[in-house]
Amino acid sequence: MTLQAAVDWFVRLQGDSDLETWIGFQAWLEADSANARAYDTVEALWVDIEEAPPSRESRAATTSDNVVPLTPRRAAKSPRRGLWIGVGGAVAAALAVAIALPALMKPGYEDYATAKGQIRKISLADGSKVTLGAASTLRVRLGKTQRDAVLVDGEAAFDVAHQPSRPFVVAAGDREIRVLGTEFNVLNHGDRLDVTVRRGLVAVSGDGQSVQVAKGQKLTHAKGSAISPIKAVDPEAEFAWSKGQLIYRDAPLSEVVADINRYVATPISVDPSAASVKFSGVLSIDEEAAMIRRLELFAPVVSQPGSGQIVLKAKTARP
């Protein structure tokens, strides 16, 4: 019965589980050590099967330039439920197959990078999806007991496959983001770190502290700071960059410019006269000149060419 319960929980957690479901799962795990062992057995079996080497057909498949599948995707969620119905014989047979398959371990990291203005979609071997923003660098290692990612610089939206006994951990700046089953966005650039959750829950830790960020919340952290405020946001606005838009509401101009600089060839800087300017509006990710024109329309600033850069000055400031 314990093994059957573990299978039931495994299947249940493959969907878009809410917070109450995760709390119930955690309570079941802690109720008896046998529960955790049974779940680990089920999870390990699935990991072994899905990490099998790709077939000849999948290796020969044509892929687009912006999608990088590392291994074939897992079976769809509805067939997966059927896989575990006959748990006695099915598990035994699957175990026999898993033992026969060579282990596919990934001791090193896979590196991904984008140039200015480029957005890249990545499919990971565990079924997770990543949208990597412009001028960004990401490193990923899918280990046996833990999946690790390092957002070296830039922005990335993660849609993580649910594997509760094999956590997905993202290192960004001086913070670590541990996924409890979710879809979330991370911006790590300079001293700024933003973590926004669209689905599920994440735990952000550092300096001996850990806070949870839930659906519809955004954590903002400045490197070296002991305080990381959390506020309610519209997740769709925070993820809009992945669809070609940058959406702001009363954001400092310096923050807006830092984002735009990852999409344009000519660096943009903010003159001290415009340091206090706040920006609200929608910027389509477009050609450099068009993005600057929209800035001038939405904010009281004017652009002036400088030495190898474009300077934004307040309209009321005298040259």
Residue 63 pLDDT exceeds 70? no
Neighbours of 220 (CB within 10 A): 17
Quick one: what percent of the chain has pLDDT higher than 70? Answer: 74
Q: Could you tell me where the DSSP H helices lie in 86-167?
A: 87-100
**Digit-coded pLDDT (tens) for 68-106:** 333 333 333 333 333 333 344 444 334 333 333 333 333
- Range in 12-21, 186-195, 225-234, 282-291 the model is least confident about: 12-21
The pLDDT of residue 245 is 93
The pLDDT of residue 70 is 31
Residue 18 pLDDT exceeds 80? no
Residue 227 burial (C-beta neighbours within 10 Å; 0-12, 13-18, 19+): exposed
The pLDDT of residue 287 is 86
Instruction: Give me 273's structure tokens.
Output: 């006269």
Residue 229 pLDDT exceeds 90? yes
- Range in 32-46, 58-72, 189-203, 278-292 the model is least confident about: 58-72
Residue 9 pLDDT exceeds 50? yes
Instruction: Give me 254's structure tokens.
Output: 């310096």
Distance, in Å, from the CA atom of 279 to the CA atom of 281, rounded to the nearest integer, reads 7
**Digit-coded pLDDT (tens) for 289-301:** 999 998 998 899 9
The pLDDT of residue 22 is 66
Residue 113 pLDDT exceeds 60? yes
Count Cα neighbours of 25 within 13 Å in the Cβ-side half-sphere.
Answer: 22
What per-residue string of b and e applies to 174-191 under the rule 16 or more CB within 10 Å gives b?
ebebbbbbbbbbbbbbee
Sorting pLDDT into bands at 50, 70 and 90, what band is 224? confident
Distance, in Å, from the CA atom of 319 to the CA atom of 314, rounded to the nearest integer, reads 10
The pLDDT of residue 181 is 67
Average pLDDT of the residues in 277-289? 90
Residue 65 burial (C-beta neighbours within 10 Å; 0-12, 13-18, 19+): exposed
| Range list of β-strands (E), 207-240 | 209-214, 217-222, 230-232
**Digit-coded pLDDT (tens) for 137-175:** 999 999 988 999 999 999 999 999 988 788 999 999 999
Average pLDDT of the residues in 184-195? 94
Beta-bridge partners for 189: 192
Beta-bridge partners for 211: 204
DSSP 76: P
The pLDDT of residue 19 is 57
Helix, coil or strand: residue 46? helix
Q: What global pTM score does this model have?
A: 0.65
